[in-house]
Amino acid sequence: MKARVFVRLKSEVLDPQGQAIESALKNLNENNIKNIRQGKLIEMDIEAKNVQEAKKSIEDITLKLLANTVIEDYKIEIE
Amino acid sequence: MEISIIRFPGTNCEVDTYNAVKKVLGITSKILSCKDTVIPKSDLIIIPGGFSYGDYLRSGAIAAREPIMSDLIKKAKNGVNILGICNGFQILTECNLLPGALLKNSTLKFISKITNIQITRNDTFFSKDYDKNQSVKIPVAHHDGNYFVDQETLRAIEENAQVAMRYAEPINGSLNNIAGLYNNSFNILGMMPHPERAIDNQTGSNDGIKLFQSMLKSMSL
Amino acid sequence: MPDKDIYQSHGINEDEKKLLLESLGREPTITEIGIFSVMWSEHCSYKSSRYWLKELHTSGKQVIQGPGENAGVVDIGDNQAVIFKMESHNHPSFIEPYQGAATGVGGIMRDVFTMGARPIALLNSLRFGEINHPKTKYLLSGVVSGIGGYGNCVGIPTISGETGFDSSYNGNNLVNAMCVGLTTHDKIFYSKASGIGNPVVYVGAKTGRDGIHGATMASGEFDDESEKNRPTVQVGDPYAEKLLLEACLELMQEDAIVSIQDMGAAGLTSSSVEMADKGQVGIELNLDKIPTRQKNMTAYEMMLSESQERMLMVLTPEKTQLAKEVFEKWGVDFEIVGQITDTNNLVVKHKNKVEANIPITYLTDSAPIYKRDVSPRKQKQKSTAKINQNIDIKDTILKLLNSPNICSKKWIWEQYDRSIMANTLNPAGDDAGIVRIEGTKKAIAMSSDVNPKYCTADAKKGAKQAVAECWRNIISMGAEPLAITNCLNFGNPEKPEIMYDFVKTIEGITEASRELNFPVVSGNVSLYNETNGKPINNTPTIGGVGLINDISFLEKFGHMLEGDQVFLIGNKGKNLSCSAFEEVIMGRNTEDPPDVNLKTEKINGEIVKKLINDQLLSSCHDISDGGLIISICELLIKSNIGADINIANNGNILEELFAENQSRYIISVSSNNQDKMFEILNNASIQYHHLGNITGNELKVNDKIVISLNELNEAFENLIPELMAS
């Protein structure tokens, strides 16, 4: 199975990279866009009996290493 | 007096730190590999600066999960003194020995300069030789030094006087200008400035000497 | 069988194709065409420049190894040596500024630690288009973070550099990176392979399809399509480099390495060929053993890949196991991929098939070499614009300080870790960076210099000036200049006027380096720096290294102090031709740059060095862009103090303030030391002039012109931060 973990800064944490992208877009006159947040996508293959099991393992490693929940939120996708 | 310095792949300040300890205190420290599982008996453990594991994923994140860290955490909880410098500070927050996290500088750029730092208190293992509220000059060199923690913890840190040092003026977006932080039992200090690069006026400042001397004095007690 | 166009698409022209077929005596395989194409490319073979490079002055008793190895080696006494080189990464940095600049730094560092030296300092010389050109901001920001991102992570201080802006670089920026390393005489490693049967070992990062044909790309001109070349640019991994560095230096403590060579441009091909060629032996590679990052890579791809952070070594068989253990400890791939043979051929095997079998000399000695046509460019019309003698001098000084080529580059160097290794002795922005040698009183001073405007107006005078300025900058830090490396950045050498300038440049460098005993020990040539037929300004960057035997004087050196007297060493300024004043204030460029009198240069320099080492001076700065008054302003800004300067009214005040005549320094001296200084100056009978004294917090010139320190600071510091924030 393919697993994807999306990690991004929590909404209450300042995201200067997101802000930089937003101001760059404003300079390009893209004024309809706001609240940009930049994050990262971590992809992997996983062997598991079913989606639930895969999701649980991925959640484990996410909490163990991939995301720092002091500052980051995460979302897991399995397919 | 036993001092251990932990090296991870990508650590690059272990030699500077070793030299500073040697020059200022006359002590030969041990440089340990992070693959070791036991840290020999030490009065002080230093996690030096660098880019452990390239700082890929997050600064300090991978290093914080290395085998040696379980023993370090155990020793920290037993009161062994630990100093984390720059990447060492990031590693200490990643393994939850210190609260909060270090984000990318708000400038989004690496910052390398000699910086004015205020030492907040002079009654800890690490700060005895400084004056209270002493202003010092110590170089910083980091990309992720922007200290963040939730408001509630921040309030607790301030009430508990755990802030060890602050930037004299904002440089990287750190909350309350925090440049260095103690844990709540004051045996652990994480700091972004590099005291090991401030032991000689010829290289710009010797204001880091007192940090090393404070630690020696405390260890000798 | 390869079709006709395949040669063309590999940058092999008709004559070269003929030569290739005649020497080989059969149709080449596609892998062989790839190998020939990179080995015969401008980048690897120096086919346009080799004929002339032989003319360079490369010897001196300080020289341990001159050009021809991975880097040059110079003796600094006490059994110690410095190893250094400068290299260009221009084309990759234009296509992808961050990665192009980062891999440039990685490559030059490997050249230095390949030879056994631990890198102790990095420098760079950068050129961008006009400051307001739409791409400049993006390129500047990307290149600077790329240089910092790599050097900071490996942990080597970036201590000095220069950055210039000019419209000729609008479509073709320059990134020249220099690395200096330290070793002992008994630990210098060379690339010459030997020992039939000795194992050939691959260490470092895995091979991917990166930068295939990077070397041929770096030898072709740009056009508007170039940005589509993006995928061939390599990605740097400074973390892998750090591990490779530590593993190599650890193994170098053992007698295990026979020869070692960085895999730079043209990767496995050029490293294996160069090692075998130097040793006059053959080399056989078994590509089945190459650690690869991607599946199903062909022999062609493996031989041409430019993946970074890799090395090739020949080891002694008995120490091979030990070597493997060292590399495995550092987590670095280690594979025996071949052996040294007595065939004098490069033999490449893959999946039980011989993919290439080429006599090494066909790739090296018999590679094409061109003595291209030369003809001087047309003299430009002399400008007749008159200088307005009533110009507002205060305004002029502030405009110059606020101009792109003179203003502070703090925005740039604050992104480079300068203090790591805890041996950097001076603040950024000085004439040269200084790094102390741990455990000694010695230090190394380093600088990189060139004035492309001079070099384009008159290639020979400009080249001489670049060498002299580098020498002068090292002198200004009290160091003994030892040797230089260079990076010769030019346009298309097939244009006779560019080739003419190249030849004149070599003449200028040779003359100056011979006279100043400042030999060339390593270097690099970057040609075809053109976009849509428009060449860059000639930019022969000179990187120099000098030795301070005793750093004691530094304790009280570097800042002008209240009460100090200010002197000019050298002649009064006379000629505004080619100056920053002309460019910035009058908006014109003329064709006659200041000439360097090398005899005067040498005498003035030797005396200034003596004054500094005798601890008589509080500060010293050479006079370059902007002239005497700009040099004084820079010292005042650094020292955070004012001065009262008097320029005699009998001369031309604009020329005295702003002319860029050569071989000159501004020095400051305390009243206590003045007499001793006069004695030395008068004995040497060199020209000097009293200019004024240090006092207060404003610059006063002839009592009439008054500029506060604040105004000086703002003009000097604000330009780049304002540009980058906009």
Residues of B with CB under 8 A from a CB of C: 9-10, 12-13, 15-16, 19-20, 50-51, 53-56, 109-114, 139, 141, 143, 194, 196-197, 199-204
CB–CB contact B57 A20 (8 Å): no
- Measured in angstroms, the CA of C77 and the nearest CA of chain B are apart by 22
Give the span between the Cα atoms of C493 and C250, in whole angstroms: 43
Q: Is there a contact between C560 and C641 (Cβ–Cβ < 8 Å)?
A: yes
Angle, CA B39 vertex, CA B38 and CA B41 arms, to 5°: 125
Residue of B nearest to A20 (CA): B108
CB–CB contact C436 B199 (8 Å): no
- Measured in angstroms, the CA of A67 and the nearest CA of chain B are apart by 9
Residue of B nearest to A10 (CA): B150
Q: Is the pLDDT of residue B46 over 90?
A: yes
pLDDT digits (tens, 9 = 90+) for C138-195: 999 999 999 999 999 999 999 999 999 999 999 999 999 999 999 999 999 999 999 9
Pick from B104, B107, B143 the residue to mutate for testing the A interface (most A CBs within 10 Å): B104
- Measured in angstroms, the CA of B134 and the nearest CA of chain A are apart by 30
Residues whose CB falls within 8 Å of the CB of residue C157, separated by 6 or more in sequence, listed in order: C120, C121, C122, C151, C416, C417, C418, C419, C420, C421, C423, C424, C435
Strands C534-535 and C353-359: unpaired
Instruction: Write down the pLDDT at residue C220.
Output: 59
Give the nearest partner residue to C422 out of B109, B143, B196, using CB atoms: B196
Of C10, C57, C89, C213, which is the active-site residue? C89
How far is Cα of residue C191 from the mean position of the Cα atoms in its chain? Answer: 22
Q: Residue C341: pLDDT band by 50, 70, 90 thresholds?
A: very high
How far is Cα of residue B148 from the mean position of the Cα atoms in its chain? Answer: 16
C204 - beta bridge partners?
C310, C333
Q: How many CB atoms lie within 10 A of CB C223?
A: 12
CB–CB contact C438 B19 (8 Å): yes
- Residues in chain A closer than 8 A to B108 (CB atoms): 16-17, 20
CB–CB contact B197 C152 (8 Å): no
- On the CB side of B192, CA atoms within 13 Å amount to 34
Instruction: Write down the pLDDT at residue A26.
Output: 82
Strands C520-526 and C480-489: parallel
Q: Residue C527: pLDDT band by 50, 70, 90 thresholds?
A: very high
CB–CB contact B203 C423 (8 Å): yes
Strands C118-128 and C158-165: parallel
- Residues in chain A closer than 8 A to B150 (CB atoms): 12, 70
Angle, CA C399 vertex, CA C397 and CA C403 arms, to 5°: 120
Q: Is the pLDDT of residue C230 over 50?
A: no
Of B13, B34, B86, B95, which is the active-site residue? B86
CB–CB contact C238 B111 (8 Å): no
Instruction: Write down the pLDDT at residue C224.
Output: 55
b/e sequence C185-201, b meaning 16+ C-beta within 10 Å? eeebbbbbbebeebbbb
List the strands of the sheet with A2-9, edge to edge.
A39-45, A2-9, A72-78
What mean pLDDT do residues C425-449 have?
94
Q: Residue C696: pLDDT band by 50, 70, 90 thresholds?
A: very high
Identify the chains in contact with A, defined as 3+ C-beta pairs within 8 A: B
Q: How many CB atoms lie within 10 A of CB C36?
A: 26
Give the nearest partner residue to B112 out of C154, C238, C419, using CB atoms: C419
Radius of gyration for chain A, computed over Cα atoms and rounded to the nearest angstrom: 16
What mean pLDDT do residues C430-441 have?
94
Strands C688-694 and C643-645: antiparallel
- Measured in angstroms, the CA of C415 and the nearest CA of chain B are apart by 5
What mean pLDDT do residues C46-57 have?
93
CB–CB contact C145 B197 (8 Å): no
Residue of C nearest to B105 (CA): C415
Percent over 90 (pLDDT), chain C: 85
Residue of C nearest to B199 (CA): C422
DSSP sequence for chain B: --EEEEE-TTB-SHHHHHHHHHHHH---PEEEETT-S-PPS-SEEEE--B-GGGG-SSTTTTGGGSHHHHHHHHHHHTT-EEEEETHHHHHHHHTTSSSSEEEPPTTSS-EEEEEEEEE--S-STTTTTSPTT-EEEEEEEES--EEE--HHHHHHHHHTT-EEEEESS-SS--GGGEEEEE-TTSSEEEESS-GGG-SBGGGTB-TTHHHHHHHHHHHH-
Residue of B nearest to A12 (CA): B150
Residue owning tokens 């990307």: C142
Q: How many CB atoms lie within 10 A of CB C311?
A: 21
Residues of B with CB under 8 A from a CB of A: 57-58, 61-62, 65, 93-94, 99-101, 103-108, 148-150, 173
What separation, in Å, do the N-terminal and C-terminal C-alpha atoms of chain B show? 11
- Is C10 part of the annotated catalytic residue set? no
Instruction: Write down the pLDDT at residue C648.
Output: 79
Q: Residue C388: pLDDT band by 50, 70, 90 thresholds?
A: confident
| Contact with chain B for residue A11, Cβ under 8 A | no
Residues whose CB falls within 8 Å of the CB of residue C278, separated by 6 or more in sequence, listed in order: C190, C191, C192, C193, C259
Give the span between the Cα atoms of C317 and A27, in whole angstroms: 62
CB–CB contact B101 A20 (8 Å): no
Comparing B89 with C390, the larger pLDDT belongs to B89
As given in the structure block, the two tokens for residue C688 are 């000097």
Q: Is the pLDDT of residue C383 over 80?
A: no
- Residues in chain C closer than 8 A to B107 (CB atoms): none
Give the nearest partner residue to C155 out of B12, B112, B139, using CB atoms: B12
Instruction: Write down the pLDDT at residue C1.
Output: 43
- Measured in angstroms, the CA of B159 and the nearest CA of chain C are apart by 34
Identify the chains in contact with B, defined as 3+ C-beta pairs within 8 A: A, C
- Measured in angstroms, the CA of A71 and the nearest CA of chain B are apart by 7
Give the span between the Cα atoms of C408 and C714, in whole angstroms: 10
Q: Is the pLDDT of residue C231 over 60?
A: no
Q: Is the pLDDT of residue C380 over 70?
A: no
Q: Is the pLDDT of residue C340 over 60?
A: yes
C519: helix, coil or strand?
coil
Taking phi over 0 as left and psi of -120 to 50 as alpha, with beta for the rest, C702 belongs to left
Instruction: Write down the pLDDT at residue A35.
Output: 87
Instruction: Write down the pLDDT at residue C232.
Output: 60
- Residues in chain B closer than 8 A to C160 (CB atoms): none
Instruction: Write down the pLDDT at residue C402.
Output: 98
The pTM assigned to this predicted structure is: 0.94
Of C43, C91, C350, C621, which is the active-site residue? C43
Instruction: Write down the pLDDT at residue C429.
Output: 84
- Residues in chain B closer than 8 A to A14 (CB atoms): 103, 106, 148, 173
Q: Residue C81: pLDDT band by 50, 70, 90 thresholds?
A: very high
Q: Is the pLDDT of residue C4 over 60?
A: no
Residue of B nearest to C149 (CA): B110
pLDDT digits (tens, 9 = 90+) for B94-133: 999 999 999 999 999 999 999 999 999 999 999 999 999 9
- Residues in chain B closer than 8 A to C435 (CB atoms): none
Give the nearest partner residue to C422 out of B112, B113, B197, using CB atoms: B197
Instruction: Write down the pLDDT at residue C405.
Output: 97
- Give whole-number Cα distances, C369 to C23, C185, C450, in Å: 15, 35, 28
CB–CB contact B106 A20 (8 Å): no
What mean pLDDT do residues C683-702 have?
96
Give the dihedral sign, CA C135/C138/C140/C142.
Answer: negative
Give the nearest partner residue to A14 out of B58, B94, B106, using CB atoms: B106
Instruction: Write down the pLDDT at residue C233.
Output: 67
Instruction: Write down the pLDDT at residue C223.
Output: 57
Q: Is the pLDDT of residue C382 over 70?
A: no
C73 - beta bridge partners?
C65, C83
Angle, CA C395 vertex, CA C390 and CA C401 arms, to 5°: 130
Give the span between the Cα atoms of C284 and C299, in whole angstroms: 13
pLDDT digits (tens, 9 = 90+) for C112-139: 999 999 999 999 999 999 999 999 999 9
User: What is the residue-averaged pLDDT of chain C?
Assistant: 93
Q: Where are the domains of chain A?
A: 2-78
The ipTM value here is 0.96
Q: Residue C490: pLDDT band by 50, 70, 90 thresholds?
A: very high
Residue of C nearest to B56 (CA): C239
Class for the domain spanning A2-78: alpha beta
Give the span between the Cα atoms of B83 and B187, in whole angstroms: 8
CB–CB contact C419 B53 (8 Å): no
- Is C57 part of the annotated catalytic residue set? no
User: What is the residue-averaged pLDDT of chain A?
Assistant: 90
Instruction: Write down the pLDDT at residue C229.
Output: 43
Q: At what angle do helices C709-717 and C628-639 cross, to 10 degrees?
A: 100
| Contact with chain B for residue C155, Cβ under 8 A | yes
Instruction: Write down the pLDDT at residue B127.
Output: 97
What CATH number is given to the structural domain containing B114? Answer: 3.40.50.880
Residue of B nearest to A17 (CA): B108
Instruction: Write down the pLDDT at residue C213.
Output: 65
Q: Which candidate, C43, C52, C39, C191, places its Cα nearest to that of C520?
A: C52
Instruction: Write down the pLDDT at residue C483.
Output: 98
Domain span at residue B129 reads 3-220
Instruction: Write down the pLDDT at residue C228.
Output: 46
Instruction: Write down the pLDDT at residue C497.
Output: 96
Q: C467 phi and psi, to 5 degrees?
A: -65, -45
Pick from A70, A72, A73, A74 the residue to mutate for testing the B interface (most B CBs within 10 Å): A70
CB–CB contact C421 B16 (8 Å): yes
Give the span between the Cα atoms of C369 and B179, in whole angstroms: 59
Give the nearest partner residue to A71 out of B65, B103, B107, using CB atoms: B103
- Residues in chain B closer than 8 A to A70 (CB atoms): 93, 99-101, 148-150
A/B interface, count of CB pairs below 8 Å: 37
Counting other chains too, the contacts that A12-15 makes at CB distance below 8 Å and 24 or more residues apart are A12/B150, A13/A71, A13/A72, A13/B103, A13/B148, A14/B103, A14/B106, A14/B148, A14/B173
Number of domains in chain B: 1
